[in-house]
A and B are shown apart, each in its own frame.
Chain A
Amino acid sequence: MTRDATTARGARHHRATPGSRWRGWLRHHRAMALDSARRLLRHPLGSLLTMLAIAIALVLPAGLWLSLDGARLLDAELDESATLTAYLETRIDAAEAGRVEQALAASPGVASTRLITAAEGMAEFQQVLGLDEALARLPANPLPASVVIRPEDPDPAAVEVLAREIAEVPGVDEVRLDLAWLERLRHLAELGHRVGLGLAVLFGLGVLLVVGNTIRLAVENRRQEIEVVTLIGATHAFVRRPFLYSGAWYGLGGGLLAWGLLTLGSDWLAAPVSALAASYGASFRLPGLGLTGSAMLLGCSTLLGWLGAWIAVSRHLAQIRPR
């Protein structure tokens, strides 16, 4: 019997129009969403434990992701402080130094400049090192004037190119840039990202397993029901539907719990983190999830729950055959 013949016969028999089929399908979805939620609520402790397991699996990668997000903000702040120092030739006097500074400020790729005259340099030096007497005995100020340059593009490669260009400017003796530590931080952040991604994949699999196992038991408990509805003409989609909704509810519940744990955790860590950041002279705050982040967390957890249920039910449906 071809499908057309079957459905045509069915249609004649039951007078089902495509519209009524569609409404019936929607009705069943609604009924199963409610029914599966009710089944979860009937065993609140068991459901809560499953959701908690999902939440814990989600908190670690999400927390790491958040900290890296924070590190990115810190990175941006450090970029602000990524500067070049151009030491001018010692023979150049204050007026000449001012002209060189203006020339540098006009160069392409330079965002701003600040001139430190030889005298200012000396003062700073004395203040920092406390070598007043020794320095005072020197016949002349041996320090050169310098210009601190903030580049437009903080990218390390671009900064290096800029440094080479500035070294060519007349009056400039030497250009220093100390970006190695910034580079190191970037590499660390990159490492963190990869570790975070790896953890997210592993713990995502963990969520699939948790949901899959729970749904497997639910399928086993409702085996007779599945056999009966299969006998009287239920499609696989019809049989699968309530379990998929259960999985999605578990995922959503786990996501909500994870969201709560993350919010609590970042509140708990906020004070020591900002104190630590302050000791380095940076203002760093753990970022919250925000609207997009929260939506993503809940979306991912719901999807993982649904997917775990789908895998578990499909594996099981193949084994369940009516007696």
Chain B
Amino acid sequence: MIAFEHVGKRYGGRFEALANLDFRVRRGEMVFLTGHSGAGKSSLLRLIMRLERPSRGRILVAGHDIDRLHPSQVPFYRRQIGVVFQDHQLLYDRSIYHNVALPLEIQGTEPREAARRVRAALDKVGLLHREQALPIELSGGEQQRVGIARAVVNKPALLLADEPTGNLDPQLSADIMALFEDFHRIGTTVMVASHDLALIARLRHRTLRLHQGRLVADEEAA
């Protein structure tokens, strides 16, 4: 699903955020990405989302070199990736329902079909009863679940998450991770960046460890 071939990323010509990354993620696999903050986890995810372009090497997603996408094709590429952010990135002036419906609105999905999928996604994260609430009325953990519902509402083949449990207590973090495992079980390729090593160790999935922009360990699930 994802292939990094000798990928490097420099910012401003000097600072090397990522160096010589070379790995593959199979379709349907669940992978953790770990490392200290500043190790390059976010940069790596931004490269996959094509928010940044590699300075060296190439990145293949679903067999296509994403660096060669025309700018006008990038939005259509991003629609195939579900992304969960640490700070949720919800829109605070609209309801939970409309936040989750946003990707479908962008795609122009029929309202009836959109409603069905939004409710299915909210049901999956256990927030169906809060669909008319505003994000501000929800707790941090609930907001993160809204973010996840939005990421999966158009059934992406690839789900990326950047520190999805960053601000949550251990129990909520475990709940969130369990959701990602559920999506992994139904065939979605999942990549989660996290520095919660204890939690990752319990979950037993392949783990890529970054250190100062280099891949220092690639451990298959024990």
> Which segment, of B5-13, B63-71, B178-186, faces chain A?
B63-71
Decide if B109 is an interface residue (CB 8 Å cutoff): yes
Residue of A at shortest CB range from B51? A322
Q: Main secondary structure on chain B at its contact with chain A?
A: mixed
Least CB distance from B53 to A in Å reads 12
A1 to B111, Cβ gap below 8 A?
no
Least CB distance from A234 to B in Å reads 5
A28 to B76, CA, bound (A): 17
B73 to A232, Cβ gap below 8 A?
no
A20 to B108, Cβ gap below 8 A?
yes
A232 to B150, Cβ gap below 8 A?
yes
Decide if B133 is an interface residue (CB 8 Å cutoff): no
Q: Which of A225, A229, A321, A322 is B106 in contact with, Cβ under 8 Å?
A: A229
> Which segment, of B23-31, B78-86, B187-195, faces chain A?
B78-86
Decide if B103 is an interface residue (CB 8 Å cutoff): yes
Residue of B at shortest CB range from A235? B75
A178 to B105, CA, bound (A): 73
- Residues from chain B with a CB closer than 8 A to the CB of A23 are 108, 110
- Residues from chain B with a CB closer than 8 A to the CB of A227 are 89
A28 to B78, Cβ gap below 8 A?
no
> Given A1-B73, A10-B76, A225-B91: A232 and B108 within 8 A (CB)?
no
- Residues from chain A with a CB closer than 8 A to the CB of B68 are 1
- Residues from chain A with a CB closer than 8 A to the CB of B154 are 13-14
B103 to A3, Cβ gap below 8 A?
no
Chain A stretch 9-33: residues in CB contact (< 8 A) with chain B? 9-10, 13-14, 16, 20-21, 23-25, 27-28
Decide if B177 is an interface residue (CB 8 Å cutoff): no
Decide if A233 is an interface residue (CB 8 Å cutoff): yes
Of B69, B73, B155, most A-chain CB atoms within 10 Å: B73
- Residues from chain A with a CB closer than 8 A to the CB of B73 are 1-3, 6
Decide if B62 is an interface residue (CB 8 Å cutoff): yes
Q: Mark A49-86, 1 if CB is under 8 A from B, else 0.
A: 00000000000000000000000000000000000000
Chain A stretch 104-139: residues in CB contact (< 8 A) with chain B? none
Decide if A5 is an interface residue (CB 8 Å cutoff): yes
Q: Main secondary structure on chain A at its contact with chain B?
A: helix
B69 to A1, Cβ gap below 8 A?
yes
Decide if A203 is an interface residue (CB 8 Å cutoff): no
A232 to B77, Cβ gap below 8 A?
no
- Residues from chain B with a CB closer than 8 A to the CB of A228 are 89-91, 102
B79 to A232, Cβ gap below 8 A?
yes
A1 to B77, Cβ gap below 8 A?
yes
Least CB distance from A19 to B in Å reads 10
> Given A1-B77, A6-B76: A233 and B91 within 8 A (CB)?
no
Q: How large is the interface on B (under 10, 10 to 19, 20 to 34, 35 or more residues)?
A: 35 or more
Least CB distance from A238 to B in Å reads 6
- Residues from chain A with a CB closer than 8 A to the CB of B49 are 231
- Residues from chain B with a CB closer than 8 A to the CB of A238 are 75, 106
> Given A5-B64, A225-B91, A321-B51: A10 and B78 within 8 A (CB)?
no
- Residues from chain A with a CB closer than 8 A to the CB of B102 are 228-229, 232
Decide if B61 is an interface residue (CB 8 Å cutoff): yes
> Given A3-B70, A3-B73, A231-B89: A28 and B80 within 8 A (CB)?
no
List chain A positions with a Cβ less than 8 A from chain B: 1-3, 5-7, 9-10, 13-14, 16, 20-21, 23-25, 27-28, 224-225, 227-236, 238, 321-322
A/B interface sample: 21 pairs, CB < 8 A:
A1-B62, A1-B68, A1-B73, A6-B73, A13-B157, A14-B109, A20-B110, A21-B108, A24-B108, A24-B110, A28-B105, A224-B91, A229-B102, A231-B51, A232-B79, A232-B83, A232-B150, A233-B106, A234-B106, A238-B75, A238-B106
List chain B positions with a Cβ less than 8 A from chain A: 49, 51, 61-62, 64-66, 68-70, 72-73, 75-80, 83, 89-91, 102-103, 105-111, 150, 154-155, 157
| Sample of 19 more A-B contacts, CB < 8 Å, known A1-B62, A235-B75 | A1-B68, A1-B69, A1-B73, A9-B80, A10-B80, A13-B154, A14-B109, A20-B108, A23-B108, A24-B107, A24-B110, A28-B105, A228-B102, A229-B106, A232-B79, A232-B102, A232-B103, A232-B106, A234-B75
Q: Which A-B residue pairs are the 9 nearest by beta carbons?
A: A24-B108, A1-B64, A233-B79, A233-B78, A235-B75, A6-B76, A233-B75, A234-B106, A228-B89
